[in-house]
Structure 1
Amino acid sequence: MRAYEDWVIEAETRGLKISEVIVQNQMEELEQSEQALFERMRQNLRVMRKSVETGLSGERRSLSGLVGGDAAKVEGRRKRGESLVGELMSGAIARALAVAEVNACMGKIVAAPTAGSCGVLPAVLLTIEEDRRVSEQAVLHALFTAAGLGIIIAERANVSGAEGGCQAEIGSAAAMAAAAAVELAGGSPRQTADAAAIAMKSMLGLVCDPVGGLVEVPCVKRNATGAIIALTAAEMALSGVKSAIPVDEVIDTMGQIGKQMPCTLKETAQGGLAVTPTGRRIQADFL
């Protein structure tokens, strides 16, 4: 079974970025050229940019009426200079909501790693890109860092809410975004691992309890909190804060916790917020 630690050691030994090791690995495994891999990733980035733009417009609403317009509210407050948490954090919140709202409205998104967690990674990376004025090529490299970690998570545990709860979706996305953010900010391969571990540890045990069985409540807003956890983890790692538990062990733990969760808390809408009085009322309104 592959380990993220192996890639970190290889990157450190060869003096490479973690993304460079992952790209080389994928070139060999998929038998594709570096150019072809980057073009595919560039296409994903274009979709991410478009989904942010669409979501921030505030023009779309989901068929249920539960989702739509919140990203525009947060973005409006940010643009008015009223943000409580600052430009970077409020920008990430708005973008995460935007992409998740587009998904709920049946728009085009990049599942990163899933549709339900699609807002976390683009929110973090595009916010840093704007704040740091980094190149698109640097963002693409960061996306490979995220994708490589996603491969490891899928192999060692899972990224499905039906299998592992929301920790497997938003938790995985937060870990991927944290690692990518560290690379984008110039951090070391080791720091990407620490950031990923810190982010995922903060999400362990998170249940999947979609109200009415829809990927809307509380899913959309969890994308925003996932993005903030990713940025927090990245900031700690870049400061030299280390994770006491290695990232591969954290991933394995997430997988085990998912297996121990009752099925009522794994995307069945039979537990958690889905069965609160309000949750039941919302579901009844759909019938």
Structure 2
Amino acid sequence: MALLFENFESWRQYCKDKKLPLYKPVLEYEIEQKGRDEQTIQEGLLKAYQVMKEAVKTGLNSDMTSRSGMIDNGAKKVYNHPVTVLSREFTEVISSALAAKEVNSCMGRVVAAPTAGASGILPGVLTNLQSLHGLSDEKICEGLLVAAGIALIIERNASLAGAVGGCQAETGSAAAMGSGAIVYCLGGTVDQAFNAVAITIQCMLGLVCDPVAGLVEVPCVVRNASAAAIAFSSAQIAIADVNAVIPVDECIEAMGEIGQSMETRYKETALGGLAATLTGKGIAKKVLIQDIEILPDEDTE
């Protein structure tokens, strides 16, 4: 099996023909690709999930101030604020996603799922899904395999990289991975899980990648929180059997087409969007000066 599947339809048909749960073909693919047994793969998944949980914990309990100053303990501020806009559970989803992404921005340890720029989304989604529904680590790991399968197909037919497809390719893909995993873990059907992916992609299409000062901080961190919220809303819609209308494979095609037609300045170059605003340019200049100041003096070496 050189590839997992070419598209979501072939994944769906394979599961139907073989009477397999959605995660199983991805596990088979991992075993074949890595040359490892199922237990070893499961141990790796558990380790990755533990890193995700630790990133959330670190972001909510340690100092998260980036050298640029753009990241300043936002996750803790949200988590501890007395006003809850919707519910305490919603606040925890948002703050968890912020926390894990802030750890990345402050050079901490994260799981790039699918990228470091989107590394707060799955932790924010899965840790809260687990606590809300009392799911086992094993079930969450099955969800991670489903998420991985989603990412592999998106990568094949569009992109996971902001430099190729804009932020829709990074946070959009991560949110789609999360929404599909949510539906799977809550006992949804294959069609519902893929419908959740389609709805998520529809919500994220066209999002540009415009990091201020070229740093994966602003607006990247807050987009991780928003994407986690979209993952949950899409899963809720899909598991209620609301039809996305446009099939998931066509949504991915649209993502790829938009990424190809997007101007270069909107694809991780820091030449457009928020990075090109007056304030964004000022921050970039300040960061550049800081970088120059910390370079070693050749005469003193």
State the TM-score, normalizing by the size of structure 1. 0.96
Unaligned runs of 5+ in 2: 289-301
Residue 203 of structure 1 corresponds to which residue in structure 2? 204
Deviation at 1:122, TM superposition (A): 1.1
Question: What amino acid sits opposite 1:252 in the alignment?
Answer: E
Residue 96 of structure 2 corresponds to which residue in structure 1? 95
Select between 65-74 and 14-23 the one with higher mean Cα deviation.
14-23
Deviation at 1:256, TM superposition (A): 1.2
Q: Distance in 2 between matches of 1:35 and 1:265?
A: 42
Which structure has the bigger radius of gyration?
2
Question: What amino acid sits opposite 1:146 in the alignment?
Answer: A
The answer to whether the aligner puts 1:70 opposite 2:71 as a matched pair is no
Q: Distance in 1 between matches of 2:167 and 2:267?
A: 8
Deviation at 1:71, TM superposition (A): 0.5
Q: Distance in 2 between matches of 1:38 and 1:193?
A: 23
Q: Secondary structure in 2 aligned to 1:232?
A: helix
Select between 57-66 and 133-142 the one with higher mean Cα deviation.
57-66
Residue 9 of structure 2 corresponds to which residue in structure 1? 5
Residue 237 of structure 1 corresponds to which residue in structure 2? 238
Select between 168-177 and 248-257 the one with higher mean Cα deviation.
248-257
Deviation at 1:31, TM superposition (A): 3.0
Deviation at 1:60, TM superposition (A): 2.3
Q: Distance in 2 between matches of 1:283 and 1:250?
A: 35
Question: What amino acid sits opposite 2:191 in the alignment?
Answer: R
Q: Distance in 2 between matches of 1:237 and 1:168?
A: 21
Q: Secondary structure in 1 aligned to 2:31?
A: helix
Unaligned runs of 5+ in 1: none
State the TM-score, normalizing by the size of structure 2. 0.91
Residue 137 of structure 1 corresponds to which residue in structure 2? 138
Q: Distance in 2 between matches of 1:122 and 1:9?
A: 29
Aligned length: 284
Equivalences for residues 105-184 of structure 1 within 5 A: 105-184=106-185
Q: Is the 8 A contact 1:17 1:188 kept in 2?
A: no
Deviation at 1:124, TM superposition (A): 0.6
Deviation at 1:52, TM superposition (A): 0.5
Deviation at 1:3, TM superposition (A): 1.0
Q: Is the 8 A contact 1:5 1:193 kept in 2?
A: no
Question: What amino acid sits opposite 1:221 in the alignment?
Answer: V
Residue 273 of structure 1 corresponds to which residue in structure 2? 274
Deviation at 1:65, TM superposition (A): 1.1
Q: Distance in 2 between matches of 1:204 and 1:71?
A: 26
Deviations 1:218-275 (A, max 9, x none): 0000000000011000000111112111112211211111110110100011000111
Equivalences for residues 33-52 of structure 1 within 5 A: 33-52=37-56
Deviation at 1:22, TM superposition (A): 1.8
Deviation at 1:163, TM superposition (A): 0.6
